[in-house]
Structure 1
Amino acid sequence: MGFSDRLLDDGAEIWAAQKEHPFVTELADGSLDEAAFRHWVKQDYRYLLDYARVFALAGTKADDEETTRRLTATAHATLDDELDLHRSFAADYGLSVDDLEAVEKAPTCGAYTDFLVRTAHEGSIAEIAAAVYPCGQGYLDAADHMATLATEDHRYTPFIEKYTSDPFRETVAWLRDLVDRYAEAFPGERDAMRAAFLRSARLEHAFWEMCYTRETWDV
């Protein structure tokens, strides 16, 4: 069993909670309130800007040329491809790029991105890999679950298709391999990797809740 599998075992309850969250199940059948999805579009747009920065920073800490190239390429792909999808979603809901760029992060989004960026600056390359892994694996597993629940095409089908696509699966597989490689190369980092993984996994679940409740600052 690879270390990435052990991490998934450690986070099994969190993974189950994500799949059972009403944002996930209602998106799957198309009944999710448009306001909740619009909140996801806005907050995830802000999240992905920092997610790209994390991969760019990770590239400066990688220990070989190929990993550096892949990490920086992932940063570019996030900015060029995934954010384009969000801009397309936004346009469908009457939001412009200016609207997206003016969005203030909700508390949960801010907590998540602050954690990732701090880990990218202060943590080891092994910690960074473990911290970003739940986002990729979590979305793939949630979207696969959505695909099993969906009975027909609806307005949220493009979301499911994006996060079950072959390119996305390949990226997640690469992240798994990266986690396994660093856990093998740096066994002394495994406790820190596990802590980073579980923090991100909990924040992934909290992100669904943030979107479903349309969380904002109370004051």
Structure 2
Amino acid sequence: MAVRFLISILIISFVSFTHAFDPNPLQDFCVAVNDAEAKVFVNGKICKDPNTVSADDFLFRGLKIPGNTSNPLGSRITYVTVNEFPGLNTLGVSFVRIDYAPYGVNPPHFHPRAAEFLVVLEGTLYVGFVTTTFDPNVPNKLFTKTLYPGDVFVFPKGLIHFQFNVGKNNAVALAGFSSQYPGIMIIANALFGSNPPINIDVLTKAFQVDANVIKSLQGQF
């Protein structure tokens, strides 16, 4: 009986661990120390001395500032991860503000460490995500929706997704993540702007296009 009980506890612990996102904190807070001052790498950032922590460590005022969308994509992301907001350290959350010019796009990308929920504040966004190739039920299925102010849409962890401003006016959205540092992999940047570049033979074979097309795309980055 005791052995069964211990096995049950181990199974429950393993399942809980495999479904966790960021590690659960073991203290009330752990305000991050600036990377330049840290000498040890941990899963998260090193804690500031609690005796020197103040309310300012839990405050971020930058989201009220519109992002400059004067770029080829017509969008700008204001990040609020643990790097910008040390008070988020070990709390397992982060967020961003996204500004879109008319017909601006937040290009296809994914977050390896977090699910994302998007709240539209202004404008009209066409959003979507694609399931994985080996999903046994709906491989590479595209889920899309047009969102309006007040609408909320969720993007599952690790899946490619995007947002596009289909309106004639600026759009603004806030997005929250289930990680203090969700990471981001922009598909085009990763494939055509890697350092050093991916072998062109790999890309021409993968995309089934002429080498000049790949060279042109790599030239964009």
The one of the two structures with greater contact order (alpha-carbon pairs below 8 A, sep at least 6) is 1
* TM-score, normalised by the number of residues in structure 2: 0.20
The structure richer in strand per residue is 2
Higher-Rg structure is 2
* TM-score, normalised by the number of residues in structure 1: 0.20
